[in-house]
Amino acid sequence: MSAPRCDITLTVNGETVVETVEARATLVDFLREQLTLTGSHVGCEHGVCGACTVRVDGVIVRGCLMLAAQCDGASVETIEGVSDTGEIADLQAAFEKRNALQCGFCTPGMLLTAQELLRGGGGVPSRETIREQISGNYCRCTGYQAIVDAIEAVAQQRAGGKP
Ligand code: FES
Ligand code: FES
């Protein structure tokens, strides 16, 4: 017997997408396998590592804990879309400059999670707040020092302070 499927219409990175998905397909698998948006990664597959982070209706979610079918009518943004708009260009540059990535597996989720904090306004967050914000995004390579440095530098830049 074939798996149940359903039709969904959603916006992905600003473009309307109409697809048929398996009812059990996760959002991140749908994005990667059906739409070939492979910037979102699949790590733990149970909501722990943050590698699958994407935005749904403006809020970051775990793409492995949400079904594609639940996104019918939603606006989904992936690292590809957020990169293309230039929204996180400063964060990307800071990560590169400060060696805040090695393999890059965690980086898309890390960037989206950092941006969630920084775009909320509220001035320059403390390093403790930054650490807490990214505590749900696991990095296997760099240690978090450089990542926190990069996020803090961008927060200062955006606040008009020194890099
Ligand atoms: S793959 Fe989704 S949180 Fe790890
Ligand atoms: S850069 Fe390798 S997991 Fe983070």
pLDDT in tens, 66-113: 999 999 999 999 999 999 999 999 999 999 999 999 999 999 999 999
Q: Does this model's pTM top 0.85?
A: yes
Those residues whose C-beta lies under 8 Å from the C-beta of residue 35, and which sit 6 or more positions away, are 12, 17, 19
Euclidean distance between CA atoms 137 and 157, whole angstroms: 23
Distance 142 CA to ligand 2 centre (A): 6
Q: If you average pLDDT over residues 29-37, what whole number do you get?
A: 98
Using a pLDDT cut of 70, give the percent of the chain over it: 98
Cα 42 to Cα 78: distance, rounded to the nearest angstrom: 13
Whole-number Å distance, alpha carbon 108 to ligand 2 midpoint, is 10
Which of 26, 46, 113, 134 for a ligand 1 pocket mutation test, highest count of atoms within 8 Å of Cβ?
46
Which one of 29, 40, 41, 49 would you pick to mutate in the ligand 1 pocket, going by the greatest count of ligand atoms within 8 A of its CB?
49
Quick one: which ligand is closest to 101's CA? 2
Write the burial class of residue 120 (CB in 10 Å: 0-12 exposed, 13-18 middle, 19+ buried): exposed
Q: Give residue ranges with CB within 6 A of ligand 1.
A: 42-45, 47-52, 62, 64
Which tokens in the block code for residue 88? 């996180």
Average the pLDDT over 28-46 and give the result: 98
40 Cα–ligand 1 center, Å: 10
